[in-house]
């Protein structure tokens, strides 16, 4: 299976696009860089894991992607509190990151049995 066929990759890539578009005009380059990199890291680690040769490596990269979901959620909470992100939009991003994280956990569990 190709990573491009995975719903979890599609959803994480879409979320990253949303984050990048939202912060396109932001002048707080430190915050912008951190939150966009964490969002981009989710789909990137899924892709990299699927291009590796072993199941163990795949699971490692899926774990990194899961960690990036947590990082994105943390930054989103802070972005909401400092009025960089509208609360409704931020809560939608948090919910999507949580769902992606659950999908990654399920994928990791399924791949561990190979």
Please say if the pLDDT value at position 114 is more than 80. no
Task: Kindly report the pTM of this predicted structure.
Answer: 0.96
Q: What is the mean pLDDT of residues 21-35?
A: 98
Nearest to 18 by CA among 108, 90, 68: 90
Contacts by 29-34 with C-beta closer than 8 Å and gap 24+? 31/75, 31/79, 31/84, 34/75
C-alpha span between 106 and 92 (Å, rounded): 21
C-alpha span between 7 and 92 (Å, rounded): 18
- Kindly list the structural domains of the chain, giving each domain's residue range(s) and its CATH number in brackets, ordered by start: 3-112 (1.20.1440.60)
């Amino acid at each position: 299976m190709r990573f491009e066929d995975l719903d979890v990759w599609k959803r994480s890539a879409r979320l990253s696009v949303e984050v990048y578009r939202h912060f396109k005009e932001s002048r707080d380059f430190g915050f912008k860089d951190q939150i966009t990199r964490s969002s981009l890291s989710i789909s990137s680690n899924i892709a990299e894991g699927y291009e590796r040769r072993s199941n163990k490596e795949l699971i490692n990269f899926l774990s990194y992607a899961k960690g990036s979901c947590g990082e994105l959620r943390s930054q989103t909470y802070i972005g909401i509190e400092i009025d960089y992100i509208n609360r409704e939009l931020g809560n939608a991003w948090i919910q999507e990151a949580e769902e992606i994280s659950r999908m990654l956990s399920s994928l990791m569990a399924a791949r561990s049995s190979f």
